[in-house]
Structure 1
Amino acid sequence: MEFKNHFYCVIMAGGIGSRFWPLSRESKPKQFVDILGIGKTFIQLTYERFSSFISPENFMVVTGKAYKEQVLEQLPALKEEQVWLEPERRNTAPCLAYAAYKLREKDPDAVMVVTPADHLIIDTATFSRVMQQSLAYAAGQDRLVTIGITPTFPSTGYGYIEVEDKHTAFSRVLSFKEKPDYDRAKSFLEHGGYVWNSGMFVWSVNTIIREMTVWLLDIADAFAGLAESYWTPGEQSAVDKVYVASRSISIDFGVMEKSHKVDVTCADFGWSDLGTWTSLYEQSGKDEAENVLSGEQIIANDTRNCFVKELNPDKLVVADSLEDLLVVDTEDVLLICPRTDEGRVKQIIEGSVSLKKEYK
């Protein structure tokens, strides 16, 4: 059997990305937006990274019904049947149960790599090598593989994985740790036996399905019951009914933290989960005053530690005597807030009952 013919990439692209407001909104979430200002969206960058070793016909995107056309527009190599639609958000376990059971009906020998649509990867060559090694490993082993990232600082924004032996290509996972406070994150770094949890996974459809039947039997049974509907005209209505009745639970909590078949491969390829303006600020190039100035015409005078993003190339922005501010100017919204307290903006927008829908 030629393993590579059975390698698939499942891109999870159903989130809203509300912490990147006002660029990311419910009508056009961050995975479909050129937030980096490089002419490509997150989902396009994700597809590019995997396309060097995954065939175009072996990509699947799981997303909300409202985003189907955006996926097809931004990834023209994909056909309509490669975009799988969730009627409602139910976290990652139902999403991946749907993907695994449906994919197994097409290819019982399928091995799938699972990735969010919004990660930043700097070293794509190393990334490609690690992913191909993980796919080959998962194809020959009855194991679930999670991709661990060698930590470079005590991050409180990522979960951690305790590793049995970081020096082997694939090590047993000892435990998963939730996002820690700073002191605990620092102790993880000093210990040396912990890596960041990237949220990327590799497994054969048969292995993940077996583990779901052990740890998530209700969800496994629900999607197993759709076997005769997959790849038929009646699939969507059948999937809709199952989703509505399904509980919301992550694959991490539902399977990965409980299974005894989880391995981790530790890698360093310049990974970042860009979930907030703060994380983008930390990853971006800065001027001598620690400002990130993203726009065609921005003048910063006596301004420090600010993130200024202007989308209009014809608009001049002058920032004078500012410090620690986030300024984002879009076509219809101007956001100004403390750069280190951007989380309040999400609460303000979600709590505003009078706000027009197009702003949310």
Structure 2
Amino acid sequence: MNPNNYCIIMAGGLGARFWPFSRNDRPKQFLDFFGTGRSLLQMTYDRFVSIVPKENILIVANVIYRDLILEQLPDVQLHQILLEPARRNTAPCIAYGVNRIKAMTQQANIIVAPSDHLILKEKRFNETILQGLDFVQKNDSLLTLGIKPSRPETGYGYIQIGDGGENPRKVKTFTEKPNEELAQVFYETGEFYWNSGIFLWNLKTIEAALNVYLPEVAAKFNAGAGLYNTAKEQDFIDEMYASCPNISIDYGVMEKAESVYVLCADFGWSDLGTWGSMYELSEKDKNQNVTLKCETMFYDSEDNIVVLPKEKLAVIQDLKGYIVAESDNVLLICKRSDEDMIRQFVNDTNFKYDGKYS
């Protein structure tokens, strides 16, 4: 195992589109969706500890999740958890991790991965990551993993690949989440891959890219040189972090940089970002209904996903294409085709009930 390989796991997201299961105090990355006894974060950690020395894995998350991370990942030491005092999207999160790693070594090859993805083909994933690490160790390029689309999905960003048969391929364009018509075009052309949000690069390349394309963010973190990996690090982060712009690494760096490559792969990936993605992955009955955790009896019903506490029975008649999800003190009943409204539901309930149900 290469001691210069590092991994930054981003675990600070809210997972609002999975409300009401995903809540502020326990977002989806801390939940066991599949009854395996392991949360998505734990599964992510398990995945990378076989590739990267466990002491080289950093978890970046909001400070309110510190104890939850320590509880779920007992092998992780407190100094491996990078605590964000505010949510500022992925660019500041990654810049923080990069600067921490820089304080430890100048020779790092870095994996950056969200904490809430599902990988069904673990062996193939490991092979892909090792191929990517070899590429970034030898090339001053930014690398992302691209997933061949299985459907015209509007919930993912897309990467247009360049000409040539080699893999990795040069990236032509990045596109944010498209509408249905554009997603259909992307799917049919065969030139577009889903953007997995998993990145690889060497330390010097990402450091240079941050300085060029996000100089404001880079300058803020560079000001802490000499403080990382010391007792003064957290005070510096607490004072500075909230002033960082709220910006993603995709928009801030990847869409602007010149030497960006995509490693096209198929390892049974889903970002589990929506109820729709959960529905697609789950086992269905003969009428295309999905039941998770609870018991169900369906009558003249099809294309539904029902997720209730495991001790409950749901008897459902004449329901087609709905999400039925209950967790703690909230029951959600929503058309699957309208699940984009869940963010609005969360915002409206926060406004009306002052965060009681968030």
Same fold (TM over 0.5): yes
Counterpart Cα distance in 1 of 2:297 and 2:75: 40
Change (3 A) 1:212 1:31: same
Counterpart contact for 2:16–2:346, Cα < 8 Å: no
Counterpart Cα distance in 2 of 1:338 and 1:325: 4
Change (3 A) 1:338 1:222: same
Change (3 A) 1:166 1:84: farther
Match of 2:334 among 334, 337, 340: 337
Counterpart contact for 1:27–1:358, Cα < 8 Å: no
Change (3 A) 1:90 1:166: farther
Residue range with higher mean Cα deviation, 248-257 or 329-338: 329-338
Counterpart Cα distance in 2 of 1:357 and 1:199: 29
1:110 lines up with 2:97 in the alignment: no
1:168 Cα shift?
Answer: 1.0
1:37 Cα shift?
Answer: 3.1
Secondary structure at the aligned position of 1:357 is classed as coil
Counterpart Cα distance in 1 of 2:87 and 2:294: 37
1:350 lines up with 2:347 in the alignment: yes
Secondary structure at the aligned position of 2:110 is classed as strand
Counterpart Cα distance in 2 of 1:163 and 1:341: 31
Counterpart Cα distance in 2 of 1:199 and 1:32: 19
Counterpart Cα distance in 1 of 2:342 and 2:173: 34
5+ residue gaps, structure 2: none
1:90 Cα shift?
Answer: 0.8
Counterpart Cα distance in 1 of 2:174 and 2:280: 25
Partner residue of 2:5?
7
Change (3 A) 1:163 1:30: same
Counterpart contact for 1:312–1:330, Cα < 8 Å: no
1:187 Cα shift?
Answer: 2.2
Q: How does 1:128-147 map to 2 (within 5 A)?
A: 128-147=126-145
Tell me the alpha carbon deviations over residues 223-275 of structure 1, each in whole angstroms, 9 at most, x when there is no partner. Answer: 11101111111111101222121111111111111111211111011111111
Partner residue of 1:29?
27
1:169 Cα shift?
Answer: 2.0
Tell me the alpha carbon deviations over residues 13-68 of structure 1, each in whole angstroms, 9 at most, x when there is no partner. Answer: 11101111111011111100112333221111111221221121111100000001
1:296 Cα shift?
Answer: 4.2
1:156 Cα shift?
Answer: 1.6
Residue range with higher mean Cα deviation, 180-189 or 252-261: 180-189
Counterpart Cα distance in 1 of 2:232 and 2:95: 18
Match of 1:70 among 58, 68, 71: 68
Partner residue of 2:274?
276
Secondary structure at the aligned position of 2:66 is classed as helix
Counterpart contact for 2:287–2:302, Cα < 8 Å: yes
5+ residue gaps, structure 1: none
Counterpart Cα distance in 2 of 1:32 and 1:48: 14
Partner residue of 1:238?
236
Counterpart Cα distance in 2 of 1:37 and 1:102: 35
Partner residue of 2:166?
168
1:300 lines up with 2:298 in the alignment: yes
1:317 lines up with 2:291 in the alignment: no
Tell me the alpha carbon deviations over residues 205-230 of structure 1, each in whole angstroms, 9 at most, x when there is no partner. Answer: 11100111111111111111101111
Counterpart Cα distance in 2 of 1:294 and 1:185: 29
1:328 lines up with 2:325 in the alignment: yes
Partner residue of 1:47?
45
The alignment covers a number of residue pairs equal to: 357
Partner residue of 1:82?
80
Counterpart contact for 1:312–1:331, Cα < 8 Å: no
- Normalising by structure 2, we get a TM-score of 0.95
Q: Give 2:93's aligned amino acid.
A: C
Change (3 A) 1:77 1:288: same
Secondary structure at the aligned position of 2:96 is classed as helix
1:356 Cα shift?
Answer: 5.3
Counterpart contact for 2:324–2:333, Cα < 8 Å: yes
Q: How does 1:146-161 map to 2 (within 5 A)?
A: 146-161=144-159
Partner residue of 2:180?
182
Q: Give 2:325's aligned amino acid.
A: V
Q: Give 2:62's aligned amino acid.
A: G
Q: Return structure 1 stretches of 4+ with deviation > 3 angstroms.
A: none
1:166 Cα shift?
Answer: 6.1
Counterpart Cα distance in 2 of 1:312 and 1:177: 39
Change (3 A) 1:129 1:181: same
1:114 Cα shift?
Answer: 0.3
1:337 Cα shift?
Answer: 2.1
- Normalising by structure 1, we get a TM-score of 0.95
Q: Give 1:345's aligned amino acid.
A: I
1:165 Cα shift?
Answer: 3.5
1:358 Cα shift?
Answer: 4.2
Counterpart contact for 1:165–1:193, Cα < 8 Å: no
Counterpart contact for 1:302–1:322, Cα < 8 Å: yes
Partner residue of 1:264?
262
Counterpart contact for 2:294–2:314, Cα < 8 Å: no
1:107 Cα shift?
Answer: 1.3
